[in-house]
Structure 1
Amino acid sequence: MIEARALTPGQASGTILKLDVPLSFWGGVDLNSGEIIDRSHPGCGKRIAGRVLVMPSARGSSSSSSALVELARSGFAPLAIVMLQHDPILVIGALVATELYAIDIPIVILAEANWPALRDGKAVVLKTTGYRARIDPA
């Protein structure tokens, strides 16, 4: 079990997509497929759709919030987002997705000491309660 700090509510069960480089949702992800399309990103070609996205931080534009909302609307959003650094832009996007479409995308902040425990391809269950989050093996 890994404890983290919840920024948005929700729960998710799925496989981790771990990125070691920050990603911008605006221009970095195809909003109609959830595929990383930023050619300079090491994860280019991978899909964030339906995955528990783990990355150190987000990168880029304030438009990433609207990109996350559009990904939720089209069914190509990540199930959850786990980061080392708080990103208010993605938090806004997740909250709007909940309000407009009743789709929860929990966003949590992980302590750096727990970063190595979350491995790409590992199945996990993530649950939030208030400002606390718990990540368990599936």
Structure 2
Amino acid sequence: MEIRCHRISGGKATGPALVTEEPISFLGTVDPETGEVVDPGHQLFGKAVAGKVLIFPGGKGSTVGSYVIYQLKKRGIAPAAMINIRSEPIVAVGAIISGIPLVDGVDAGILATRDGTILMVDADREVIRVDEP
């Protein structure tokens, strides 16, 4: 199955889905040293974002969140790609400076994707391919 989307940050990546219905503030929610979600109040608490296609509604919080995304990439523990319902500048800038594919403009139904589902995000072609089990 293919899903049309809107490119925010170009590139192509494949990986297992990691999904949350909650916005993510990379500053304070994701540990830049480990890539693990450390906010005990977040739906993804205790999970690592490294190599995942991270699906979340959008970002929130401090502009420093862009730099946290960049730190994750430099340490090799960043998401392979990110999918938002509606991206905002903090996540967009972080993805762009880090070279992480980021797309938005998808239906909120994407949030029903099961963790571990293999997704290919081709931001340049503005398409998400879902490998159904």
Shared fold, TM over 0.5: yes
SS for the counterpart of 1:47 is coil
Q: Percent identity?
A: 34
Report what 1:44 is aligned to: 45
Deviation sequence 1:18-60 (CA, Å, 0-9, x none): 0111111111111111100011112100111110000011121
TM-score, length basis structure 2: 0.90
TM-score, length basis structure 1: 0.87
Contact 1:2 1:114 (8 Å CA) reproduced: no
5+ residue gaps, structure 2, are none
Note the C-alpha offset of 1:125.
0.9
Take 2:64 and 2:129, find their aligned partners in 1: how far apart are those partners? 32
1:137 maps onto 2:130 in alignment: yes
More deviation, 110-119/23-32: 110-119
Contact 2:85 2:108 (8 Å CA) reproduced: no
Runs of 4+ residues over 6 Å off in structure 1: none
Number of corresponding residues: 130
Contact 2:35 2:48 (8 Å CA) reproduced: yes
SS for the counterpart of 2:68 is helix
Report what 1:110 is aligned to: 105
Report what 1:21 is aligned to: 22
The alignment yields a C-alpha RMSD, in angstroms, of: 1.5
